[in-house]
Amino acid sequence: MSVYVDYASTTPFDREILNEVMDSADVFGNPSSIHRPGKDAKAALQKHRTHISQKINAKPKEIIITSGATEANNLAIRGTADRHERPHMITTDIEHASVRTTYQNLSEAFEVTFLKASENGLIDADDLKNSLRSNTVLVSIMLVNNETGSIQPVFEIAEILKDHQALLHVDAVQAFGHMEVDVQKLGADMLTLSGHKIYGPKGIGLLYLREGIKLSAQLTGGSHELSRRAGTENVMWVHALALAMEKAADERAQRSLKEMQLKERFLNELTAKKIPFEVNGDLNQQASHITNIYFPWSEAEFLLTALDMAGIFVSAGSACNAGTVQPSHVIQSMYEDEERALCSVRFSFSYLMEEDEVTEIVSQLDAIYKRLSK
């Protein structure tokens, strides 16, 4: 039996959605063309965009379709930075690489403050308050951390920013489908989502941009996406994104309940087998599908390889360091403990999993633990 338990790095493309999208392949026109096939494609695109916008309580024109959340995050950050002379921006130590690396690159030209997480995995809203300056133009904070599942105090931060010019950019990739994502309630000015984290296709995502806010396009060319992102729209994948968002929103309660049950069972079985472990961060401030575990008895790199050979597919933090296992920057920021950062593994569950798969994960972990303790 093999078990994939790495759904935070990607999810399988829902077959039902794939089939429905295939049926729309005949609408092949270029949405920018003025003849009938073009108009048909434009109408389909508009329909999907409307569905997408409704799922986060936005307007259709506030949705910029991108090639994924990486591009959307780049557009939010660079597109804002480009519009200011000497901007100051605030982000956190625990962002996804697409946000963190973008800010690191910009920090050579602009001033960027990186906020640290506490041991509970959370950014302190007071830290943010104290870091605000008169020239702060952008604050980027994720809603759910992709390594620990920690739910960040975005509501509190939005409240603080109410009487400040700084815009709020929220990476909600790991939140959608697991908790409510409503741009109005969140008070987000910009928000990013990705198709392949919610059982849609890879290579599609979006940036929500509140009406009235201007961004400098990062991809220039035609006037697609209201001149905020040039390039012929991938109508089929936009359709798939709309369907994936619809299904994830409709089934959110059942899916997250199942994820929570799987996670709970996992932690209980680890305890029952007396495998030494600690949960990184606060279990009560965690999204349903992710948990991050410190195993003091093995480095993650070894454990991942041993588990892979045993048919258990899991990762150490994010999948974004292409094949290498580096100490997690998230665990490092939380605990300032490199050993802990090197010995932590992320397990991310799905409603698609069965309970006996959890038992299999723990039994393989137990076998490796026993082998190492000899």
Q: Point out which residues bind ligand PLP (CB under 6 A).
A: 68-70, 96, 98, 142, 146, 171, 173-174, 194, 197, 205
Least Cβ distance, residue 76 to ligand PLP (angstroms): 11
Q: Which is nearer to ligand PLP, 235 or 290 (CB)?
A: 290
Least Cβ distance, residue 274 to ligand PLP (angstroms): 33
343 is catalytic: no
In angstroms, the CA 333 to CA 328 distance is: 9
Q: Per the structure block, which two tokens stand in for 231?
A: 């390039």
Among 320, 323, 328, 325, residue whose Cα is nearest residue 280: 328
Per residue in 262-298, is it b (16+ CB within 10 Å) or e — as a string? bbeebbebbeeeebebebbbbeeebbbbbbbbbbeeb
In angstroms, the CA 104 to CA 92 distance is: 11
Least Cβ distance, residue 29 to ligand PLP (angstroms): 26
Is residue 102 classed as helix, strand or coil in its secondary structure?
helix
Sign of CA dihedral 168, 169, 174, 178: positive
Q: Which is nearer to ligand PLP, 63 or 310 (CB)?
A: 63
Least Cβ distance, residue 200 to ligand PLP (angstroms): 10
Residues 113 and 127 sit within 8 Å (Cβ to Cβ): no
Length of the chain: 374
Listed in sequence order, the residues at least 6 apart from 218 whose beta carbon sits closer than 8 Å to its beta carbon are 71, 74, 75, 78, 79, 229
Least Cβ distance, residue 34 to ligand PLP (angstroms): 32
Task: Provide the CA 304 distance to its chain's centre, in angstroms.
Answer: 22
Task: Provide the CA 16 distance to its chain's centre, in angstroms.
Answer: 23
**For residue 133, what is the DSSP state?**
-
- Kindly name the residue from 132, 219, 320, 352 that is annotated as catalytic: 320
Q: Which is nearer to ligand PLP, 334 or 362 (CB)?
A: 334
How would you classify the pairing of strands 88-92 and 136-142?
Answer: parallel
Residues 207 and 67 sit within 8 Å (Cβ to Cβ): no
In angstroms, the CA 182 to CA 191 distance is: 10
First to last CA, the chain: 26
Residues 58 and 188 sit within 8 Å (Cβ to Cβ): no
Task: Name the residue whose CB lies closest to ligand PLP.
Answer: 68
Sign of CA dihedral 308, 311, 312, 313: positive
Least Cβ distance, residue 282 to ligand PLP (angstroms): 18
In angstroms, the CA 276 to CA 371 distance is: 14
Active site residues: 320
